[in-house]
């Protein structure tokens, strides 16, 4: 569908112009969109493909950390005449890129009344200690694992995040939360002011709290100098590579975290282009778009120009000792398509059969 492809590319460029260089933590303040406020997310009912969780299960899950590496399940919702995919993304706590890739061929700005929209609300957890905050920049997703008592199920909160654009990458590694603040002041880094000045825009040295503050109304300070976790006054940039390295969340998500994450909480950033793990007896792999794919979305193209490397080895390691039961065709397809959605690639044998072997 060439028309759909052109529309998607134009839409992607519009989003980039509005939000890619002008967003929180490191944002452009001037311009005709600086005082635009996003509407509150409307209520909508989702139809679940699996009945084990209520439709509201899009950001909070419980799981057995000794058995499961996958949380959530894929859902669908029906678009109204006024909906855009960014509207639906925020309503269900998803990022722009996630929703577009889950719905190939759908115009992001005019999905159409009555259109069934897939909600990619199933996630393979990253390979990292399940404590504190973990961010997988490849997935553009945050996972918060609150403390738990022995014998209890593990709870995880997950939210889409905006991360550093190319040239301003969000750093990898481990640190911790050292402070948190309501209605923060943004002291604009000299490097950010210089970049905007080169583009003919002069930023103030200090931005007070309020609707024009790119940090939103909540922030966490990390032990890493100059990097923050914060809200935003431009919510549609969440789930994109568009910041100067900071981590930004929807306003409602940063408020949830602010009320639950304590100072001293461990904070870890990983870059895992693929994750694999078990949900019960089923093995899943989730392969995320490359940076080049994120820069130029092609919603019509089912096979990417740069298939992911190392996915088969990752699946083999996760499958042991059942590597012989892997669906190699499904692994290859996941590596090619890189949709960012979990793909079922294997199944453990029934307990009695496994024992007999």
Active centre residues (catalytic): 230, 246
The two tokens of residue 256 are 């949830």
The two tokens of residue 287 are 């392969």
Terminal-to-terminal C-alpha distance of the chain: 50
Q: How far apart are CA 318 and CA 285, in angstroms?
A: 9
DSSP H stretches of helix in 150-287: 190-198, 251-260
Q: How far apart are CA 131 and CA 157, in angstroms?
A: 11
- Per DSSP bridges, beta strands 163-164 and 154-160 are unpaired
Check: CB of residue 116 under 8 Å from CB of residue 76.
yes
- Per DSSP bridges, beta strands 132-136 and 75-78 are unpaired
Phi, psi of 199 (to 5 degrees): -95, 10
Q: How many residues does the chain have?
A: 357
Q: How far apart are CA 88 and CA 96, in angstroms?
A: 9
Q: How far apart are CA 197 and CA 184, in angstroms?
A: 24
Burial class for 9, CB neighbours closer than 10 Å (0-12, 13-18, 19+):
middle
Q: How far apart are CA 129 and CA 147, in angstroms?
A: 12
Burial class for 150, CB neighbours closer than 10 Å (0-12, 13-18, 19+):
exposed
């Amino acid at each position: 569908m060439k028309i759909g492809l052109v529309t998607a590319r134009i839409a992607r460029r519009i989003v980039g112009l509005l939000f890619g260089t002008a967003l929180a933590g490191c944002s452009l303040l001037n311009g005709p969109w600086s005082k635009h406020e996003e509407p509150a997310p409307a209520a909508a009912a989702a139809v679940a493909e699996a009945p084990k969780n209520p439709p509201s299960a899009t950001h909070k899950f419980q799981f057995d950390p000794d058995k499961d590496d996958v949380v959530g399940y894929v859902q669908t919702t029906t678009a109204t005449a006024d909906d855009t995919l960014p509207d639906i993304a925020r309503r269900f706590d998803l990022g722009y890129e996630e929703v577009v890739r889950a719905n190939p061929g759908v115009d992001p700005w005019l999905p159409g009344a009555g259109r069934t929209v897939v909600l990619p609300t199933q996630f393979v957890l990253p390979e990292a200690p399940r404590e504190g905050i973990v961010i997988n920049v490849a997935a553009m997703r945050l996972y918060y694992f609150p403390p738990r008592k022995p014998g209890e199920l593990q709870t995880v909160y997950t939210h889409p995040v905006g991360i550093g654009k190319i040239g301003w990458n969000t750093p990898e590694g481990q640190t911790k939360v050292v402070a948190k603040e309501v209605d923060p002041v943004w002291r604009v880094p000299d490097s950010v002011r210089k970049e905007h000045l080169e583009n003919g825009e002069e930023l103030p040295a200090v931005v007070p709290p309020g609707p024009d503050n790119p940090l939103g109304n909540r922030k966490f300070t990390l032990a890493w100098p100059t990097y923050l976790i914060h809200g935003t006054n431009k919510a549609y940039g969440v789930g994109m590579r568009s910041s100067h390295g900071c981590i930004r969340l929807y306003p409602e998500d940063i408020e949830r975290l602010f009320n639950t994450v304590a100072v001293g909480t461990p904070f870890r950033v990983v870059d895992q282009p693929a994750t694999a793990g078990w949900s019960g007896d089923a093995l899943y792999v989730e392969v995320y778009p490359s940076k080049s794919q994120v820069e130029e979305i092609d919603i019509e193209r089912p096979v990417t120009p740069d298939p992911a490397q190392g996915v088969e080895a990752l699946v083999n390691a996760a499958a042991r000792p059942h590597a012989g039961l892997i669906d190699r065709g499904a692994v290859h397809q996941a590596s090619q398509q890189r949709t960012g959605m979990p793909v079922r690639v294997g199944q453990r044998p029934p307990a009695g059969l496994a024992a007999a072997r």
